[in-house]
Structure 1
């Protein structure tokens, strides 16, 4: 609501030698490189053998075992995909380097797959230090065993190149604010969000993390919720009552107004429980589906570009969303508090219901709301950032696809969409049906997410 605005890198012990490659240069993200004519690419960089797709599927397991809020997951994903991109872009120029370019690797196509593998492996070890190393080693072993006709010498070049680009990305993110543990200060007043009893606030400092492409987390910060100038003005307004009563009617655990399909889609998009690939993992999963459908014969040069852009958009969207949640004057409470504690902020159009619970629930049937403020919606913002990047990459919004989910309350459910924006809109709507967001949370987040994707697409890699 309305209140006054109030990493070091983990030491990385790589399991491989890091002999320096001559010619590697650290570049500013805006440095452009002219693209040479593209020679033929080995079949082992395509389709089922595309190592970029392999690692962007493998990272979903990292998300499942890491859990938590979206920010750290998206940060690690961006580090991985940018390291992959810079390695691939060193072999064949496909755009601007993000951070580094090894000029000696140009045309060494036999190094491609191994460079991707070690860029991903080294990045994930550094970005997710608590993920089991044995699991990551197993993923690397599987990747290295994929068909590859390259010589041992060129594969060694790939190992060195991938490790080098990953180390550069990890070093670049030192002291980026991701390790800030400053405690959240609660404002105990009506309308203000406060953490659930016994649970810490979810990533209260993530909005201050250094973005990958934006100038700051506040670059596209939305206006105050509903445009109201004070908490008192907001809480007494008919507009506020309308938004609260909508969620009270369609978002409750025992709602009779919500349709069966609305309940199904609410859980399809949730993925809030630890052990799932989380809401951002669903965007990775759906990107894999779409890329395989619309670029079935594409090489790793295309997939590296798409996933580099997608991961940056998701990471910067998470930072911008968390800036809005915590770094502003409007740390708004969730619908559950707005309904059950409505008597603390009397509004003639809202009848308190102390027994009301959101449809969002864990596998034991216990209702909960995500443990951070409501404005703006994380699901909606990352959904829009994803849709915007894919729309720009493919040159159209009209990409139909059928995708799945990891949520245990929607096991086996798939849903089909006629466009990218339709999927993003449904993801936003789902947060109302599951009872944890207001409409203005979603509307502002969708706008924010599309702005982030546009900025990312025009400022990095292209």
Structure 2
């Protein structure tokens, strides 16, 4: 009877009656990294989490999985921990550790779906066929999950803070929330503030006028262009989607899956990637809060107030996106997240030119696009914000530089081998 119940739970969860076994091995594989990240992505979609909250959730889950796997004796080469040091118990099952660590984090961050997470945990552990190694791994994973939760408690992500609406030329007009993230404790970088760029171009200068002219044409709702609209929509990723950090996590999971990375490497990849994305949030929100720059819609409608003799006001101008934008314009968060994701993936794989196909949560018709590499996708994601009339190109470029900077520090300093050379050229090991 117990066996029938387990099989029914596994079928309900879409995992089948037994875990798959890797070629050349008799050991079952529950694909913990992909499976539990899938649940995290669904949690962000279901709760309509902000990009900042989503990035934090992804990072907490993947740091817990990495530390759980990394702490188990036999995981080689020995690497630095992220938040919770080892060693874990000898001869523990690393997959069981990954499952229970991820479960602990998701139950804490998304308690409304505890029943679903409990069922998935129980099904995964049952698929691993039990035994002392699975029990030891599960206990270690619970310990690590609790440690990650404790380490991130009081990190500044709550309570929610807002910046009031502004007035005058160049200033973002609406109040916006989530500004507490400018002071959130980073996961990996020493000081996120070092990646805050200098100010946007002066309203009265030529660089501003050039960017103004470009977005006034490319981002205008009055000038129909199906391809520009489709590109904007593909990368728009509004509330209810996995958010920009989630799309780069999905890309990383897909590329890792295509390359059949072992569990330890999958865990390290997703931990590096999500820590870089979460820390990019801090620098991005700080930049937006500091400069509070106006969006193109306001800038174009009120160009007669900017003091620039080259810009011309168009009170009827509307963005192709159909909205002004809910946070200050400088920098583009989509650009900073995309650059952080692309740079981390390129650094981990020691190559940018890895072709992949991907359909975002907001892809029109669910149709995927093909990319020659990570940087190509990030470039398109950044430009999509200009096509939507949401950002100026200088904010795209500043966002890309910000994300690359954060990723560079994460790759240079975190989750490295404890002995011997830590890098092959610029590629971490």
The equivalent residue for 1:386 is 341
Q: What does 1:60-99 correspond to in 2, within 5 Å? A: 60-91=41-72, 92-94=75-77, 95-99=79-83
Whole-angstrom CA distance in 1 between matches of 2:222 and 2:27? 54
Per-residue CA distance 1:285-340 (angstroms, 9 max, x = gap): 111221122x22x32111001001111011011111111111x2x21011111112
Whole-angstrom CA distance in 2 between matches of 1:423 and 1:71? 21
The equivalent residue for 1:249 is 217
* Structure with higher RCO (Cα < 8 A, 6+ apart): 1
Segments ≥4 residues shifted beyond 6 Å: none
Whole-angstrom CA distance in 2 between matches of 1:242 and 1:85? 46
The equivalent residue for 1:286 is 251
Whole-angstrom CA distance in 2 between matches of 1:42 and 1:283? 33
Deviation at 1:181, TM superposition (A): 3.0
Whole-angstrom CA distance in 1 between matches of 2:119 and 2:297? 43
Per-residue CA distance 1:230-261 (angstroms, 9 max, x = gap): xxxx22222212211211111122224x4x32
Change (3 A) 1:42 1:63: farther
Deviation at 1:167, TM superposition (A): 0.8
1:235 aligned residue (191, 199, 203): 203
SS at match of 1:105: coil
Whole-angstrom CA distance in 2 between matches of 1:82 and 1:170? 10
SS at match of 1:405: coil
User: Does residue 100 of structure 1 match 2:77?
Assistant: no
Change (3 A) 1:43 1:390: farther
TM-score by length of 2: 0.86
Greater helix content:
2
Deviation at 1:346, TM superposition (A): 4.2
Structure 2 gap segments, 5+ residues each: 1-23, 417-429
Q: What does 1:32-51 correspond to in 2, within 5 Å? A: 43-45=27-29, 49-51=30-32
Q: What does 1:113-128 correspond to in 2, within 5 Å? A: 113-128=95-110
Q: What does 1:181-196 correspond to in 2, within 5 Å? A: 181-195=160-174
Which range is displaced more, 302-311 or 135-144?
135-144
Per-residue CA distance 1:395-440 (angstroms, 9 max, x = gap): 1111000001111x61312111111111111111111111101101
1:207 aligned residue (174, 178, 182): 182
Deviation at 1:104, TM superposition (A): 4.4
The equivalent residue for 1:223 is 198
The equivalent residue for 1:263 is 229
The equivalent residue for 1:24 is none
1:441 aligned residue (370, 395, 407): 395
Deviation at 1:344, TM superposition (A): 2.9
Give the conservation status (yes or no) of the 8 Å contact 1:209–1:217. no
The equivalent residue for 1:179 is 158
Deviation at 1:43, TM superposition (A): 4.3
Per-residue CA distance 1:432-460 (angstroms, 9 max, x = gap): 11110110111111111111011011211
